[in-house]
Amino acid sequence: MEFVTLCAASCATALLVGRIRTRSRLIYVGLASGAIVALTHIGADTIVGRAVPAVLESDALAATGGWWHYLSWLLGESLRVGVFAVLAAALVAGALPIIEKIFGVQTDLSLLELGDASHPLLRQLAQRAPGTYNHSINVAAIAEAAADTIGAHGLLTRVGAYFHDIGKMFKPNYFVENQDANDNCHDALQPAMSTLVIIAHVKDGADLARQHHLPKRIVDFIEQHHGTTLVEYFFREASKRSQEAANKEEVSETAFRYPGPKPQTREAAVLMLADSVESASRTLVEPNAARLQSLVDKIAMKKLLDGQFDECGLTLQQLEQVKSSLVKSLTAIYHGRVKYSGQATA
Ligand SMILES: [Fe+2]
Ligand SMILES: [Fe+2]
Please give the chain's pLDDT, 346 residues, in tens.
677 767 776 776 677 666 666 666 666 777 777 777 777 777 777 777 665 555 556 665 556 566 677 677 767 776 776 777 778 777 877 777 787 777 777 788 888 888 888 899 999 999 999 999 999 999 999 999 999 999 999 999 999 999 999 999 999 999 999 988 777 888 888 899 999 999 999 999 999 999 999 999 999 999 999 999 999 999 999 988 888 877 777 888 899 999 989 999 999 999 999 999 999 999 898 889 999 999 999 999 999 999 999 999 999 999 999 999 999 999 999 886 545 544 444 5
Structurally, at CATH architecture level, domain 109-334 sits in Orthogonal Bundle (1.10)
pLDDT for the residue 50: 63
Please tell me the distance between residue 330's alpha carbon and the centre of ligand 1 in angstroms: 19
pLDDT for the residue 68: 73
pLDDT for the residue 104: 73
Q: Give the number of the ligand closest to the Cα of residue 167.
A: 1
Does residue 174 contact residue 193 with C-beta atoms inside 8 Å?
no
pLDDT for the residue 94: 78
Please tell me the distance between residue 242's alpha carbon and the centre of ligand 1 in angstroms: 27
Please tell me the distance between residue 160's alpha carbon and the centre of ligand 1 in angstroms: 12
Please tell me the distance between residue 73's alpha carbon and the centre of ligand 2 in angstroms: 63
pLDDT for the residue 292: 95
Residues 172, 177, 179, 184, CA torsion sign: positive
Please tell me the distance between residue 5's alpha carbon and the centre of ligand 2 in angstroms: 51
Please tell me the distance between residue 222's alpha carbon and the centre of ligand 2 in angstroms: 9
Residue 57 burial (C-beta neighbours within 10 Å; 0-12, 13-18, 19+): exposed
Please tell me the distance between residue 165's alpha carbon and the centre of ligand 2 in angstroms: 5
| Residues having C-beta closer than 5 Å to ion ligand 1 | 165
Q: How far is CA 85 from CA 6, 15, 45, 218, in A?
A: 10, 15, 18, 33
Please tell me the distance between residue 216's alpha carbon and the centre of ligand 1 in angstroms: 18
Domain limits, CATH 1.10.3210.10, in the chain: 109-334
Does residue 216 contact residue 104 with C-beta atoms inside 8 Å?
yes
Does residue 228 contact residue 257 with C-beta atoms inside 8 Å?
yes
Please tell me the distance between residue 202's alpha carbon and the centre of ligand 1 in angstroms: 7
Does residue 330 contact residue 277 with C-beta atoms inside 8 Å?
yes
Please tell me the distance between residue 158's alpha carbon and the centre of ligand 2 in angstroms: 13
Please tell me the distance between residue 168's alpha carbon and the centre of ligand 2 in angstroms: 9
Cis peptide before 130 (omega within 30 of 0): no
